[in-house]
Structure 1
Amino acid sequence: MYIEGGYNYYIVALSILIAILASYSGLNIAAKISQAGGKTRFFWLLAGSVVMGNGVWSMHFVGMMAFHLHVTVNYDVTLTLLSMLASIFSSFVAFYITMPKNVHWPSIVLGGCMMGGGIVLMHYIGMEAMIMSVDLTYDKTFWGLSVVIALVASYAALFLFLRFRNHSSRSWLKSVCAIVMGFAVCGMHYTGMAAARFHQHAGSVTGSAESSMNLFLLYGVTVTIFVILLVSWGAMFLDRHVLEKMAYRDAITGLPNRNEMNRFFDTHIGKEQIAVLFLDLDQFKAINDTLGHHIGDLLVREVGGRLRTFISNDQQAFRIGGDEFLIIVKQSDQERAEQLAEQILQSIKKVYYIDGNEMYVTGSIGISIGSIQDSDRSMLLKAADTAMYVAKGLGKNQYCVYNQEMGIQEVRKMELEKDLRRALEVKQFFIVYQPKWNVKTNKLVGFEALLRWKHLRLGIVSPAEFIPIAEETGLIVPMTRWTLEEACRQCKEWQSQGIDQPVSVNLSVSLFKSNILAEMVQSVLEKVELRPDKLELERIDGAVRY
């Protein structure tokens, strides 16, 4: 004989709401997993699993509270806890499988199967935990249907969630995912309940089981929902007050870091004109090399403190790495940006007292002005960076505003740097020899070798333009070796023609600071078989003679 049960539809509605809210909280926390790293990732993984698993479990037992069987029902504590663990574990595995940022469809299928399988396992273990004076069997058709609903809906919800988890502008789609997942849980539960067949024992008496069943469930569900809220609130607190600070704040200065700068550009899209000030400290490397990185960090902290005084509602300062800072000014024109740059430079160059050291440091600032809509962030940052290097080249401790001419010069410099790497291979370099004449004796006293570059498209490129690029890129070493060898060969040839005069070669100051110059000169002299007194070396420093 079957016993027919009934439902309290208010509690049914409550169970559906719990399932949707728990799904939303669990999926929202799980969205942090792919964005985190290290131990933080494990925290989000565990928190999302606990919220999702407990939410599914709570929905099941609230649904059981809505079901009236009119027999005394108790619950096996071990099986009840096991059903909760099954739900949490399956959520953990599903989130772990789909944790990478780029997830392929086989992983989504497997994750959906794990999530749906956990819902099914939790439900039927929970049903098995019921202790009552009736026998429980299942209709195979409804049982199979409940499994299909759990698997398909879980896959669909997980697919949508993974598709849109990184789109903050589409948060309503995350709500849709939570609703789909909530109905997956509820659909499986109530289909599974429809599959249940309760057989009354002969001679058994039905009655009210409200107090016995509801008391157990009430305490269990209350504690579980409290756990869900505790984990969710704890996760949000950690995210906003701890992880947020770690991810978006510089550890040394306390200023917003490069991640926060990128977030600003991601969210600040419009026609509003902004000014970007790129600040770089002058001679900071020398401070690090002479006084140590500890003093360098303390100096950066002091500079950050001074920049903090310029932060306001429409101005923000960022430390983007090393001794580089960025100041962004909203609704700014060139005049306002220049005034701010002047104030910053005045503040930076004031004396610093650090660990018993009295220190002075200056800065160079490059300024670019534009809107995010008219140009992307890379253009604004590159323009400010270019202007900053121009300011350094003009003597440091000053600012420079980017203009179109700088852009043209920067493009030319990049082109020259690219072509300079092949200039030696394709034999575009040549040497001209300038006689050196002694006016007192009215006699020739030698020749000065001057390097020249004949670019295929640009023609003769001035050494004043390509030598600094060669020094920056390290190409100055092979260029110097080639120049020395060619000059020594020419000198040797002149000797064979009866012209016994030395040749001088200009060398970059960077080579005199290195430990390779002596070896380079010796190897060239030995290769050409030229006497050392026939080669003169001159250092390019200060006023350059080309």
Structure 2
Amino acid sequence: MEGNYNYYIVALSIVIAILASYSALSITGKISHARGKTKLFWLFAGSFVMGSGVWSMHFVGMLAFHMHATVKYDVWLTLLSMLASMVSSFIAFYITMPLNIKWSKLTLSGLIMGIGIVAMHYIGMEAMIMDMELTYDRSLWILSAVIAFLASYAALFLFLRFRNQTGSSWLKWCSAVIMGFAICGMHYTGMKAVRFIHHGDMIIEHTKSVDFFLLYGVTVTIFIILFVSWGAMFFDRHVLEKMAFQDTITGLPNRNEMNRFFDTQVSNENIGVLFLDLDQFKAINDTLGHDIGDLLIQEVGQRLRQFIHGGQQVFRIGGDEFLIIVKQCKEQQAVQLAEQILQSLKNPYRIKGNELYVTGSIGISIGPIDQSDRSILLKTADTAMYKAKSLGKNRYCVYNDGMGAKEVRRMELEKDLQLALENKQFYIVYQPKWNVKSNSLYGFEALIRWKHPRLGIVSPSEFIPISEETGMIVPITSWVLENACSQCKIWQEQGIEKPVSVNLSNRLFQVGNLFEMIRKILNTKELDPHLLELEITESMVLLDLKDITQQLQSIRSLGVRVSMDDFGTGYSSIGLLDQIPIDALKLDRLFTNDIGTPRKNAIINAIILMAEELKLDVIAEGVESQEHIEHLAQLGCHVMQGYFYGKPMKVKEIDEWYKHQDGINRNALEV
């Protein structure tokens, strides 16, 4: 027995197949790029839409088949057919989730999806309850199975093709139409293969076999599923994605969007990456407040928008850092773009009555996106940016392999400074100062050291300049002051009542709370102020003599001593010594290197005589031999510091050193 079709319902089944295909194509990109539980959500959603879409098309297509006989459906077999379609879709999507899929896995996933579609169709046929028997034409049955497998492979191929495309496009709609007709082709070929046989004693009722209530119920349900899936995608794309991938201040794509770009793009074409960091932003943010800082960032973002076009995109990746990506880029093109950006940035900004000026440093890196490390271009551009800053800022620098190792190390140290403070990677060593006139201990200098977990001991000459530039020197110095005062208090209780000196950076004078910091530490540690000495550099007072002088006077009013370190190097401050409130001068080791020469002796003698007139102590650094001691003592310098008396040592070594020196002194007194 053969039946005929209600072609309106056939058309409806085709529409459902196309809409389901389009929804599945749209969701597949979410599966590959989502993370954590979100990936699992989109995997289930995609499997549900694809599986239910294919099943609903089949069911509506069955309702379109008119046999002039009463047909009912076994509920459990019907649900099993739906489950077969969904489970096979889930497995196929799960196998093809990775961004780089091998052909063997694509073959396996297509096979599984094809088996699921065939199973769904023929289990659905078995679910029909009627007074007839079903047989199949073998050739048409095989053809329907082949079409199912071809449709499955086409579907997976299109999923992979559109996984990076989140928006709507005519090509995606064309693909959905092809998929819809392929799925329908499998169904109606399978229906063509079936033969309905009734026995002679069976009575054929000439009634309509279409249950319109069931048809409308299924149709409405399917459309609800499709619209809900579209609604979820719309909410994700236009609300959640905007919140997650768009910067709230500038409206530019943010770091998440940048990471997604690097995660999804694998190309042999050259990509230009320009890493931009504003030069004077931190000072503006600290002095005028974060509100002005945010408005400035907003203005910078507006200026950078003019460079978004074609193959160029701008991202704000945090703070005062921006990234510009140029597709199909050559070095000359990137250099010209960098020059245009720098020129645009340095024009004045007028924000709430303030006329602000900022410049930028740009690091440029050009090359293909490496499949093994997709962020390598970002790292090298960051390295080149730091190089541009070290060359004087307000400029660009193109990355080359020569700058790599040094700049990468510097960048790593900068990023690890905060972690080093939190994880107690810093420690303090103390170098003794000796009074040769009284042959007794004069005091100690506290010196910070960094034991990096991977790089080992990092020299202060390497990490101190970085900490000064980043502002980390402030919390680091506070930590040194607290620990040095604690140790000095312990020594005082042990009978070693000698001052400990700590070096100060000019950044400490800029924060405006140095006096309160020192007073609070002294009170907390219950240390006598005369046991703390602060060392400043002579070039520091040339920055703002009046302000620094006032701060030093306040600090000295507590009873804290102040000495000028490395005197005689860099900028000369001899003409200002009578105005600077200090207690001692520390001669740089430069003067002790060739102390035996008449000219050097004359200079040292002049400094000592000047210090005596100003009632300042003189401490010589870099003393390493008996010859140094004799020459300095003859010239009138009696306090010395250097390897001759002791290298910088940890507390335990200092204790042993002091016991040894105390024993020597006692023996000398007995003699």
Amino acid of the structure 2 residue aligned with 1:53: S
Q: Does 1:372 align with 2:368?
A: yes
Query: Any idea what the Cα deviations from partners look like across 1:95-154, whole Å, max 9, x if unmatched?
Result: 799998999xxxxxx9999999976786566x45xxxxxx52557x99xxxxxxx9xx99
Query: Any idea what the Cα deviations from partners look like across 1:371-429, whole Å, max 9, x if unmatched?
Result: 1257954222122223333444555444344444542223544787889969x999986
- Over the matched positions of the two proteins, sequence identity in percent amounts to 32
Q: Does 1:533 align with 2:523?
A: no
Q: Does 1:382 align with 2:379?
A: yes
Amino acid of the structure 2 residue aligned with 1:267: Q
Contact 2:427 2:450 survives alignment (8 Å)? yes
Which of 299, 304, 309 is 1:302 aligned to? 299
How much is the aligned-residue C-alpha RMSD, in angstroms? 6.7
TM-score (norm 2): 0.52
Secondary structure, counterpart of 1:31 in structure 2: helix
Residues 320 and 83 (structure 1), Cα distance of their counterparts in 2 relative to 1, 3 Å cut: farther
2:604 match: none
What CA distance in whole angstroms lies between the structure 1 residues aligned with 2:94 and 2:455?
49
1:136 match: 131
Contact 1:280 1:364 survives alignment (8 Å)? yes
Q: How much does 1:449 deviate?
A: 2.0
Q: How much does 1:308 deviate?
A: 1.6
Query: Any idea what the Cα deviations from partners look like across 1:9-36, whole Å, max 9, x if unmatched?
Result: x99x999988975664454244255356
2:275 match: 278
Contact 1:29 1:235 survives alignment (8 Å)? no
Q: How much does 1:360 deviate?
A: 1.4
Contact 2:426 2:450 survives alignment (8 Å)? no
What CA distance in whole angstroms lies between the structure 2 residues aligned with 1:532 and 1:283?
37
Which of 301, 323, 335 is 2:320 aligned to? 323
Residues 42 and 374 (structure 1), Cα distance of their counterparts in 2 relative to 1, 3 Å cut: closer
Structure having the higher Rg: 2
Which of 358, 365, 372 is 1:362 aligned to? 358
What CA distance in whole angstroms lies between the structure 2 residues aligned with 1:164 and 1:492?
79
Residues 164 and 100 (structure 1), Cα distance of their counterparts in 2 relative to 1, 3 Å cut: same
The aligned runs of 1:237-276 (5 Å cut-off) are: 238=234, 242=238, 246=242, 249-262=246-259, 264-265=261-262, 266-267=264-265, 269-272=267-270, 274-276=271-273
What CA distance in whole angstroms lies between the structure 2 residues aligned with 1:250 and 1:80?
54
The aligned runs of 1:393-408 (5 Å cut-off) are: 393=390, 396-408=393-405
Greater displacement, 333-342 / 110-119: 110-119
What CA distance in whole angstroms lies between the structure 2 residues aligned with 1:54 and 1:366?
51
Amino acid of the structure 2 residue aligned with 1:136: D
Contact 2:23 2:229 survives alignment (8 Å)? no
What CA distance in whole angstroms lies between the structure 2 residues aligned with 1:205 and 1:523?
100
Query: Any idea what the Cα deviations from partners look like across 1:313-366, whole Å, max 9, x if unmatched?
Result: 353322223432111234555555444333322322333344x34341414323
The aligned runs of 1:126-525 (5 Å cut-off) are: 127=128, 136=131, 198=198, 238=234, 242=238, 246=242, 249-262=246-259, 264-265=261-262, 266-267=264-265, 269-272=267-270, 274-284=271-281, 295-330=292-327, 332=329, 334=331, 336-354=333-351, 356-372=352-368, 376-393=373-390, 396-413=393-410, 430-433=429-432, 449=445, 451=447, 463-468=460-465, 472=472, 478-484=479-485, 502-508=499-505, 509=507, 513=513, 517-518=518-519, 520-522=521-523
TM-score (norm 1): 0.61
Contact 1:20 1:183 survives alignment (8 Å)? no
Amino acid of the structure 1 residue aligned with 2:364: S
Contact 2:303 2:344 survives alignment (8 Å)? yes
Residues 450 and 408 (structure 1), Cα distance of their counterparts in 2 relative to 1, 3 Å cut: farther
1:441 match: none
What CA distance in whole angstroms lies between the structure 2 residues aligned with 1:204 and 1:411?
84
2:57 match: 58
Secondary structure, counterpart of 1:318 in structure 2: strand
What CA distance in whole angstroms lies between the structure 2 residues aligned with 1:460 and 1:39?
43
Secondary structure, counterpart of 2:61 in structure 1: helix
Secondary structure, counterpart of 1:505 in structure 2: strand
1:147 match: none
Greater displacement, 114-123 / 477-486: 114-123
What CA distance in whole angstroms lies between the structure 1 residues aligned with 2:45 and 2:18?
18
Q: How much does 1:307 deviate?
A: 0.8
What CA distance in whole angstroms lies between the structure 2 residues aligned with 1:205 and 1:329?
71
Query: Any idea what the Cα deviations from partners look like across 1:54-85, whole Å, max 9, x if unmatched?
Result: 55333344356466x4x3x5789xx8999999
Amino acid of the structure 1 residue aligned with 2:56: W
Contact 2:501 2:534 survives alignment (8 Å)? yes
Secondary structure, counterpart of 1:326 in structure 2: strand
What CA distance in whole angstroms lies between the structure 1 residues aligned with 2:226 and 2:456?
73
Query: Any idea what the Cα deviations from partners look like across 1:249-271, whole Å, max 9, x if unmatched?
Result: 54543434445544554436225
- Figure out how many residues of one structure are paired with residues of the other and give that number: 493
Contact 1:275 1:370 survives alignment (8 Å)? yes
Q: Tell me which of the two structures has the higher relative contact order, counting C-alpha pairs closer than 8 angstroms and 6 or more residues apart.
A: 1
Secondary structure, counterpart of 1:368 in structure 2: strand
Residues 486 and 95 (structure 1), Cα distance of their counterparts in 2 relative to 1, 3 Å cut: same
What CA distance in whole angstroms lies between the structure 2 residues aligned with 1:100 and 1:359?
56
Secondary structure, counterpart of 1:136 in structure 2: coil
Amino acid of the structure 2 residue aligned with 1:364: G
Secondary structure, counterpart of 2:375 in structure 1: helix
Amino acid of the structure 2 residue aligned with 1:449: E
Query: Any idea what the Cα deviations from partners look like across 1:246-300, whole Å, max 9, x if unmatched?
Result: 376545434344455445544362253x432211234545655676655544433
Residues 507 and 278 (structure 1), Cα distance of their counterparts in 2 relative to 1, 3 Å cut: same
What CA distance in whole angstroms lies between the structure 1 residues aligned with 2:539 and 2:4?
93
Residues 159 and 479 (structure 1), Cα distance of their counterparts in 2 relative to 1, 3 Å cut: farther
What CA distance in whole angstroms lies between the structure 2 residues aligned with 1:39 and 1:451?
50
Amino acid of the structure 1 residue aligned with 2:365: I
What CA distance in whole angstroms lies between the structure 2 residues aligned with 1:280 and 1:62?
61
Contact 1:386 1:410 survives alignment (8 Å)? yes
What CA distance in whole angstroms lies between the structure 2 residues aligned with 1:170 and 1:313?
18
Contact 1:307 1:344 survives alignment (8 Å)? yes
Contact 2:18 2:180 survives alignment (8 Å)? yes
Secondary structure, counterpart of 1:320 in structure 2: strand
1:28 match: 25
Residue ranges of structure 2 left out of the alignment (5+ in a row): 98-111, 137-143, 166-174, 541-563, 567-671
Residues 284 and 466 (structure 1), Cα distance of their counterparts in 2 relative to 1, 3 Å cut: closer
Residues 181 and 341 (structure 1), Cα distance of their counterparts in 2 relative to 1, 3 Å cut: same
Q: How much does 1:304 deviate?
A: 1.7
Contact 1:54 1:224 survives alignment (8 Å)? no
Amino acid of the structure 1 residue aligned with 2:131: L
What CA distance in whole angstroms lies between the structure 2 residues aligned with 1:198 and 1:332?
72
Amino acid of the structure 1 residue aligned with 2:322: F
Q: How much does 1:306 deviate?
A: 0.8
1:131 match: none
What CA distance in whole angstroms lies between the structure 1 residues aligned with 2:401 and 2:227?
55
Residues 294 and 113 (structure 1), Cα distance of their counterparts in 2 relative to 1, 3 Å cut: farther
Amino acid of the structure 2 residue aligned with 1:57: S
